[in-house]
Amino acid sequence: MISQRRGPVRVVNAIMGKNGENFIMKNFLYVQCCIIIQIITELFPISSGGHVQLFERVVALFFDKKIGVDNREIVVPLVRCAHIPMAIIILFFYASWWLALLCNLTMCMSLSSWQAHFILSLFIACGITSLFFIATRYVSFPDWVVSVGFAMTALLLLSLVWCPTAEPYKIASITFYQATILGFAQGVALLPGLSRFAFVFVGARWLGFCPREAFAITWVLYLPLIIAAGFVGLWQLGLLSVIKKYGLTMMITGVIAYTLFCAVAWLALHNFLYVFTFYLIIPFTVSLFLYL
């Protein structure tokens, strides 16, 4: 029985105790697969959380019923740690923007007006998303909700086909109203099966942003959240433990993920993200088979 104590002590006891030790030894491949699925699917507008949930259910159905449910308190912080490669990818992909921001802070000890405006908009959007996280943190959703989430994500991506063409303009032109709407979209996407990438990107496109700016806003808004999630996961499991047992998997998957991220960026910039609508038929059908 996993200890009921809160915080990192509970997770460390689960890993180092008898049950936790057996889990790591017997289910090492399962844990690695969860990490890989989280990192790879997070790049696409298809709901990474929904895919991890489907993987857990498939393993439970065909292999071991206890793997996913009994050890969720160990897998959940590991999935949070798996956000770290994604954060590094975003920082590297938009390195020029972060460097310009850093230079202004270190050399001029100030921000340009557009940088200050954008950062404030970022705080507004992330603040609204945080409220959704707090509101849904202890809510248990029925398993079938993930099927509804996949269907809604697919329909949302399909709407890009009819999205009007937008003229490119600076990302700094985002208004507080637009930031509020995107923060709301990002918060709603915390529900199972909904893709945060899809909701924010499609929302930004319908708010008038061109594909390039919509793609940038989507990931810049996401960055503070996944950094926070990654640090929470590290705090629960311990930095050295994560590096020793899962660091190599995260590093190799992260390198592959960067290449895929560049490919997804090309699809987004050329208005082809709607093609994932057809892919989502697969997880939607699988989820119906598993949950209904």
249 contacts 36 by C-beta, under 8 angstroms:
yes
Of 66-80, 108-122, 253-267, give the lowest mean pLDDT range. Answer: 108-122
pLDDT-derived band at 94, boundaries 50, 70, 90: confident
Of 31-40, 89-98, 269-278, give the lowest mean pLDDT range. Answer: 89-98
What is the pTM (predicted TM-score) of this model?
Answer: 0.86
> With 70 as the cut, is the pLDDT of residue 279 above it?
yes
pLDDT of residue 17: 43
What does the mean pLDDT of the chain come to?
Answer: 83
pLDDT of residue 290: 87
pLDDT of residue 16: 39
pLDDT of residue 11: 44
pLDDT-derived band at 28, boundaries 50, 70, 90: confident
Of 18-22, 25-29, 158-162, 247-251, give the lowest mean pLDDT range. Answer: 18-22
Give 213-227 pLDDT, tens digit per residue. 899 999 989 999 999
pLDDT of residue 169: 64
Q: How far apart are the first and last CA of the chain?
A: 30
